[in-house]
Amino acid sequence: MSPIQMVDLKKQYLNIKDQVDAAVLGVLDSSMFIGGPQVNTFAAKLSSYLDVKHTIPCANGTDALQIAMMALGLQPGDEVITPSFTYIATTEVMALLRLQPVFVDVDKRTFCIDPEAIRKAITPKTKAIVPVHLYGHAAPMEEILAIATEHNLFVIEDNAQAIGGDYYFNDGTVKKTGSISTIGCTSFFPSKNLGCYGDGGAMFTNDDSLAELLKMIANHGQKKRYYHEIIGCNSRLDALQAAVLNIKLPLLDQYIDARRKAADYYDNGFTGHTKITTPFRAATCKHVFHQYTLILEDIDRDGLHAFLAEQGIPSMIYYPVPAHRQKMFDAFGGSNYNLPVTDWLTERVISLPIHTELEEEQQAFIVNKVLEFINR
Ligand SMILES: *Cc1c(COP(=O)(O)O)cnc(C)c1O
């Protein structure tokens, strides 16, 4: 059995090495490092994959969120409703723009933002909702869009962990996560479901004028070179990363199948163990398992983490401190929030290795070791 990785980027690379190496060498040969055909092709292909009108590539997922909030004209003091149970990038950019993050609780089963909590948090200052499709499970977009329409709010999807996922509406419509709201944002960080070999990100929208604005902001606020109409930043996906993504995008569905198969294997391994809750899969979405996250009850979670590490099994706590408890948010009243589900989950979640190259032998070993710990 080969060593177990949380995400095995090396093994995945070796399986596509010839294609990737050729594509990367092609970029070196062209010496078109910024912009150019690789980037344009990738944006077009991703738009068609997601069935969205515009894909605007940028430097990383954090920038994507920031640029989205800038493009929507959010102003200091505007309230943005968001989960606290997420990666810091989601809410950090709000602080950076001096927006007021309004942290709400999540659904205990899906780990995603709770629509009832959103309703309760709305005030006259609320301007936007930022749901996160956490771990690859879609947030309840149908309810979120209904609330947004009712209260005239923007919705920005943080799709960094769920690219390739589907959301099923009541009327039978199926949409890709990231393509559902005002603006969708994603990351191509190497360990994400569609990862490049460095940093990368993108924004998605069906709105032509918003697309124009997103492009301008990501490019120093200019449409015409050296004529800067609005305040922007410098956020680009480079051609080497786009070349890698052009190889990997056609494999995304296959990668998702591999992740879902690995999740099924774990699910089976842990059924019947009352102290372990395996990931819930709502009927409204296709889970793409960026993470495979268990909830443990009456188990020493941190003890299990240490025990697994001794056995050569990596595991992760995503995330050990929720956003509202981060020092960063002291000045934003973070400590005033009471989010019982978020705190409850924070103490009980553990994510096991999941990736496209995980072997059954490795999974059997992981399952056995987890059970050995909880049964001892
Ligand atoms: C990874 C991630 C981001 C940020 O992406 P970067 O490319 O690392 O900037 C944002 N939100 C979530 C939920 C993420 O997992």
User: DSSP letter string over 211-223?
Assistant: HHHHHHHHBTTEE
- Give percent of the chain with pLDDT exceeding 70: 100
Across 225-361, the runs of DSSP E, i.e. the strands, are: 227-228, 276-277, 285-286, 292-296, 349-352
Which ligand 1 atom minimizes the distance to the CA of 63? 9
Cα–Cα distance, 187 to 207 (Å, whole number): 20
pLDDT band at 237 (very low <50, low <70, confident <90, very high): very high
pLDDT band at 101 (very low <50, low <70, confident <90, very high): very high
Q: What is the mean pLDDT of residues 306-311?
A: 98
Q: In what order do the strands lie in the sheet with 154-158?
A: 54-58, 201-205, 183-187, 154-158, 126-129, 79-83, 100-104
Handedness of CA 204, 208, 213, 219 (dihedral sign): positive
Pairing mode of beta strands 100-104, 227-228: unpaired
Question: Ligand 1 pocket test: which of 158, 159, 203, 241 has the largest number of ligand atoms within 8 Å of its C-beta?
Answer: 158
Distance (Å) from CA 160 to ligand 1 centroid = 5
H/E stretch holding 186 reads strand 183-187
Which ligand 1 atom minimizes the distance to the CA of 89? 10
Buried b (16+ CB within 10 A) or exposed e, 333-359: ebeebebebbbbbbebbbbbbbbbbbe
The answer to whether the CB of 132 is under 6 A from ligand 1 is yes
The answer to whether the CB of 60 is under 6 A from ligand 1 is yes
Cα–Cα distance, 50 to 57 (Å, whole number): 14
- φ, ψ (nearest 5 deg) of residue 224: -100, 135
Which ligand 1 atom minimizes the distance to the CA of 188? 7
Distance (Å) from CA 89 to ligand 1 centroid = 6
Which of these, 231, 199, 200, 204, lies nearest to 218 by C-alpha position? 231
The per-residue pLDDT for 376 is: 87
Taking phi first (over 0 means left), then psi (-120 to 50 degrees means alpha), and beta for anything else, what does residue 248 get?
alpha
Q: What is the mean pLDDT of residues 332-345?
A: 97
The answer to whether the CB of 346 is under 6 A from ligand 1 is no
Report the chain's mean pLDDT, rounded to a whole number.
Answer: 98
Q: Is the pLDDT of residue 58 over 90?
A: yes
Q: Is the pLDDT of residue 26 over 90?
A: yes
Distance (Å) from CA 237 to ligand 1 centroid = 15
Distance (Å) from CA 18 to ligand 1 centroid = 29
* Residue bearing the CA closest to ligand 1, atom 6: 61
Pairing mode of beta strands 154-158, 126-129: parallel
CB 256 within 8 A of CB 32: no
Distance (Å) from CA 361 to ligand 1 centroid = 31
pTM of the model: 0.98
List, in order of start, the domains of the chain with CATH numbers: 9-249 (3.40.640.10), 251-375 (3.90.1150.10)
The per-residue pLDDT for 362 is: 98
The per-residue pLDDT for 145 is: 98
CB 160 within 8 A of CB 195: no
The answer to whether the CB of 211 is under 6 A from ligand 1 is no
